[in-house]
Structure 1
C-alpha cells in the first residue's frame, strides 16, 4: 500500500515540475497601445523577422499583443518586428475621422529575453462626428 502512495507522490511531483518548467506556448514580444483613437476597430498587421526571413505574421486590431509561438523563434535572441496600421480611419455612422500622428509602418528591433516592449500609435480626431438627429414621426390620434 505504501509503494502505491509513493508512486502517486512521485508522479504528482514529476507532473508539477514538468508544468512549471515547460516553455510558454506564446512569447509576448510587443504590447501595442492606441491613444486618441477608437479601440478594437483599427487593424494592425505585424510581421516578425529573424535574419531577414519572416518567422510569423498575423492581423489583429489595436490595442494588441504581438506574440509568436515559441517553436517559431528557433533560438533567435534578436528579432525584427514590423507593425503596419492605417494612416487614417473613418468610423461607421456617425462618421468621425481619425488621422495617425507619425509613421504607419514601424520597425522595432526586439531582444527576446528583454521582451515585452511597449509601443503606442497616436491618433488625432480630424473631423468630429455630426450630431445625430432622431426624427420621431407624429403619433396617430
Structure 2
C-alpha cells in the first residue's frame, strides 16, 4: 500500500466522532504542527539576518524608523517564540497520546476547534470558563 496519504482538512472535519484522534487525524495534526514549527523557525532565522544587516544611517528620522521597525520585529518574534513552545508542546501531546483532549476536563476539544487553533489545550467551554474567571478576578 505504500505511504499513507495525509487527509485534507475537509476530510478530517467530515470524519465521524468515533474516529476522533485516530491515527489519520493525529498524522494530519502532527503534519500541520510541524509545518507551523518550521515556519516559526524560519521567521526567527530571518529576524536574526535582518537585525545583523543594520546599516548606519546619519539621518535621525531614518534611524528612528529603522529602530521602530526592529522593535516591532522583535515583539512579533517574541509572540512567535511563545507560539513555538506551544506548537512543540502539542507535538509532545501527540506522542504521549493526550492531544485533542481538554487538560481540565479530559473531554474531546473537537476537530473544528483544533483546526482553528492546533495548539489548543482546553475545550471551548473550559476556555470560556477560564476567560470569565480572568475577567472577574483579574487573574
Give yes or no for TM over 0.5: no
Whichever structure has more strand as a proportion of its residues is 1
Q: TM-score, normalised by structure 1?
A: 0.25
What's the TM-score, normalizing by structure 2?
A: 0.25
Bigger relative CO (Cα 8 Å, ≥ 6 apart): 1
